[in-house]
Amino acid sequence: MEKTFADFFAGIGLVRLGLERADWRPAFAIDIDQKKFEMYHDAFPCDSLGAYVVDDIYKLDPARVPTVALAWASFPCTDLSLAGSRGGLSSGESSAFFGFLEVLDGMRHRLPQIVVLENVPGFVSSSRGQDFRAAIQELNCLGYVCDAFVLDAIRFVPQSRARLFIVGTIGVTPTEDPLGSLLRRPEALAPAKVFEAIAANHDLKWTIRDLPNPPPPQRRGLLDILERLPLNDSRWWPSSRADYLLSQMSPRHQKVMQALIQSDRTTAATVYRRVRNGKTKAELRADDVAGCLRTPKGGSSRQIVIFAGGGQYRVRFMTPREYARLMGAKDYPISVGDNQAYFGFGDAVCVPAIEWIAHNYLEGLVQSVSHRTKPRQMVPL
């Protein structure tokens, strides 16, 4: 099998970065967001621009998608995540998933042998589990036998960012005892909610592959990725604003914050401001790991970073370069404004997590699944 892929909901191209590290070759990309395409083009300036389509996926002619081995779809999570509306798969931006299915259906005689869906873990419980079931049913109807697992970016970078991955494969035999196979899978990849979701849908077609344990969590390292800005940098908040942030914390978090301030060594912590019961609250994370990066929408704010120690503390927003590092893309070119960069990285996928999946899951499929059809010649990106 030639290792070529089409990247649906491609965003700024972090899926591509991860797959390329495992020798996959891009052949096509699509996203509706022109600003994300601008960042993508900065990162991959030598590409033929015609291979990245900026459009609504519902308007995509399947004939424009070349024959590939893998179709990757990181479809919008806005209506599935806790930070979003929780309207489900059929509402808002997340309904773009069905546009992706329409494209696959239009490629029936040359379907990619592998499909990967990526979204938030809450997808398994969205609409009381009906969204997850509908997605697997639709893939089964197209001929895909499915698997599902969770992988957290904290295994690779100091960011807590768990994501659900559904892999559909054509040409494999369904697992006779999927639940038994799941019990043998490392718990880090098969948390209880995923096990329960597959158990509730045991009548569907599943193939559960053996997977190794992912690397241990990166419980430290946030301080190492943060930029050392000079004290006179305008991005540091004035003391009045920093004090107000502390006043928005719960008494428990204020106590933790005071301990960090009085410590002899400098430490870093992160904060998100959220609206709880009509009031803005500042929620502190002080375990040397960043909270899950998000876009400045859907109920979430930009992540705040606090440097504390020696009786002092300084506060600022996290920078776009720090977002890039936390997504495993430390050298990604950033020539756009801060908000555009926050949106791009906040909607993306952690690069080393994709690389791990490519090496430990997709490589085995490539070796075990034979060609159904001979792919036509393609012009790579």
pLDDT at 300: 54
pLDDT at 374: 46
In the predicted structure, residue 217 carries a pLDDT above the cut 60: yes
- The DSSP-derived string for 158-207 is SB--EEEEEEEESS-PPPS-HHHHHHHS-TTTS-HHHHHHHHHTTTS-B-
Share of the chain above pLDDT 90, in %: 80
Residue of 257, 243, 240 whose CA lies nearest to 307: 257
pLDDT tens figures, 37-58: 999 999 998 765 568 999 999 9
Distance separating alpha carbons of residues 261 and 234, to the nearest angstrom: 22
Using pLDDT thresholds of 50, 70 and 90, give the confidence band for residue 4: very high
Phi-psi category of residue 273: left, alpha or beta, with phi > 0 → left and psi -120 to 50 → alpha: beta
**Token digits for 248?**
């928005």
Judge contact between 326 and 282, C-beta under 8 A: no
pLDDT at 301: 74
- Enumerate the domain spans of the chain: 4-218+348-368, 228-318
pLDDT at 50: 61
| Cα–Cα distances in angstroms (integers) from residue 269 to residues 140, 216, 251, 259, 286, in the given order | 44, 21, 16, 12, 5
Torsion of the alpha carbons at 196, 199, 205 and 209, rounded to the nearest 10? 70
The residues with which 255 forms a beta bridge, in sequence order, are none
pLDDT at 89: 52
Q: In the 8-state DSSP scheme, what is residue 309?
A: E
CATH architecture of 4-218+348-368: 3-Layer(aba) Sandwich (3.40)
**Token digits for 241?**
């604003």
Side chain identity at 145, as an amino acid letter? V
Distance separating alpha carbons of residues 8 and 318, to the nearest angstrom: 28
pLDDT at 345: 97
pTM passes above 0.85: yes
In the predicted structure, residue 257 carries a pLDDT above the cut 50: yes
Average pLDDT of the residues in 96-104: 92
Distance separating alpha carbons of residues 7 and 296, to the nearest angstrom: 24
pLDDT at 92: 47
Average pLDDT of the residues in 331-347: 95
The overall average pLDDT reported for the chain is 90
pLDDT tens figures, 76-97: 755 444 444 444 555 445 578 8
Average pLDDT of the residues in 143-164: 97
Angle made by CA atoms 375, 113, 122, in degrees to the nearest 5:
140
pLDDT at 312: 96
Distance separating alpha carbons of residues 297 and 294, to the nearest angstrom: 8
Average pLDDT of the residues in 344-361: 97
Average pLDDT of the residues in 361-370: 84
pLDDT at 80: 43
Average pLDDT of the residues in 110-138: 93
End-to-end CA distance of the chain: 19
Q: In the 8-state DSSP scheme, what is residue 216?
A: P
In the predicted structure, residue 106 carries a pLDDT above the cut 80: yes
SS3 327: coil
